[in-house]
Amino acid sequence: MHMADALISPSVGVTFCAVSAATIIYSARKLKEEADEKIIPLMGVMGAFVFAAQMINFTIPGTGSSGHLGGGMILSILLGPYAGFLTLASVLIIQALFFGDGGLLALGCNIFNMAFWTCFVAYPLIYRKIVKQDSRPSVITLAALISVLVAMQLGPFSVVVQTLVSGISDLPFKSFVLLMQPIHLAIGLVEGIVTAAFIAFVRKARPEILEAAATSRLLAQVPIRKVLIGLGVVTLLTGGILSWFASSHPDGLEWSIERITGKSEISEPVKGIIPLLGAIQEKSAILPDYGFKSGGPPQTDEMQGGQSERGEAWPAIASGTTVAGVVGSMMTLALAFLIGFVFKRRRSKVH
């Protein structure tokens, strides 16, 4: 559901960049107040895992479309909303800058659509309220499923509204929303099941992590070394090998646009800020479309989701995909530790 710059106007892009930047600053300040240094490595490993998991598109049977894990609810449940938002925002920034996944102008929209609704709406207002009343495993599973489904309706609807307000594409609101909402309901159902299974595993292995995130308690007394190692191994396997098995079908956003326009791409303006940012992204994307550069512009798909243009061969065994999965995961891990270093330094100056 990564939006390309061709869908939004500069005013909409700048507005949502400002909104997302303000939310990042707010989350960073709240995270600094919690002063839990042990959450930083968990943020890094979880961010790396979400990066790798987003490389794997799964087919939605009978539609010709696909979807991928958003990861916002998993991050919120394990890290809390502030650390979860920062982690997912970091993933999206790295994807846009170094992998050509999602436009630079649309980066604020993508952060808002994929991270804000999950971390600050679906998690506190649905998941947390349900679990607070009843924390049985079956209820936690149901809460995770419902909250993901809600988030996966709010995010796509925001995409439709942002596109409509921008007014630079010929996508009619009614047709667009009637395609976007049902296909993302199906995608949300799969993500909800995966999220519930993931949380059930963590609950069995280290329930203290879930309790700490839910009650804003520190992780200081929780042994998480084995969890970090386990997640690290799973991340490398996911990004390095399992990403070969990603579906070649277009994701929900691309599929919706193709159904309306009959084209796989939305034409970008030839002048203005959008082509300028596109040129910058072409240079910054070291592994465009999660693969090696071919000498031309980054081979991103029309919504730059990174999966639909890989060809018909399956599994798509490619060294470039493996390198992209490992490098991207390591970048996300490094960014989380950089955030932790900055927080630690600021706290030491204050005290």
Model-level pTM?
0.89
pLDDT at site 300: 41
Between CA 261 and CA 186 the distance in angstroms is 22
Residue 60 bridge partners (DSSP)? 65
DSSP assigned state of 251: B
Asked if residue 57 lies in contact with residue 48, where contact means CB atoms within 8 angstroms, the answer is no
User: Percent of the chain at pLDDT above 90?
Assistant: 54
Instruction: Assess whether pLDDT exceeds 90 at residue 161.
Output: yes
The torsion region of residue 13 among left (phi > 0), alpha (psi -120 to 50) and beta comes to: alpha
In this predicted structure, what is the pLDDT of residue 48?
A: 93
Q: Give per-residue pLDDT as tens, 200-227.
A: 888 887 777 777 676 666 665 667 777 7
Q: What is the pLDDT of residue 347?
A: 57
Residue 247's SS3 state is: coil
Average pLDDT over residues 289-307: 55
Q: Across the strands, what pairs with 65?
A: 60
Interacting residues of 104 by C-beta distance below 8 A, sequence separation 6+: 5, 96, 97, 277, 278, 280, 281
The string of pLDDT tens digits covering residues 240-285 is 888 888 888 999 999 999 999 988 678 888 788 888 999 999 999 9
Return the SS3 of 91: helix
pLDDT (average), residues 148-165: 97
Helix (H) or strand (E) holding 201: helix 173-205
pLDDT at residue 326 above 80?
yes
Architecture of the domain whose range is 5-280+289-343: Orthogonal Bundle (1.10)
Q: 16 or 289: whose pLDDT is higher?
A: 16
Sign of the torsion formed by the C-alpha atoms of 221, 35, 334 and 318? positive
Confidence of residue 305 (pLDDT cuts 50, 70, 90): very low
pLDDT at 225: 76
Per-residue pLDDT at 350:
54
Query: Domain residue spans in the chain?
Result: 5-280+289-343
Write the pLDDT tens digit of every residue in 28-39: 888 888 766 778
- Cα(first)–Cα(last) distance of the chain, in Å? 43
Q: How far is CA 132 from CA 128, 148, 216, in A?
A: 6, 17, 13
Q: What is the mean pLDDT of residues 157-184?
A: 95
Give backbone dihedrals phi and psi of 8, rounded to 5 degrees, phi first: -125, 155
For 248, the token pair is: 């070649």
- Ramachandran region of residue 247, left (φ > 0), alpha (ψ -120 to 50) or beta? beta
Burial code (b: 16+ CB inside 10 Å, e: under 16) for 8-32 equals bbbebbebbbeebeebbeebbebbb
Angle between helix axes 81-99 and 39-54 (nearest 10 degrees) is 50
Confidence of residue 73 (pLDDT cuts 50, 70, 90): very high
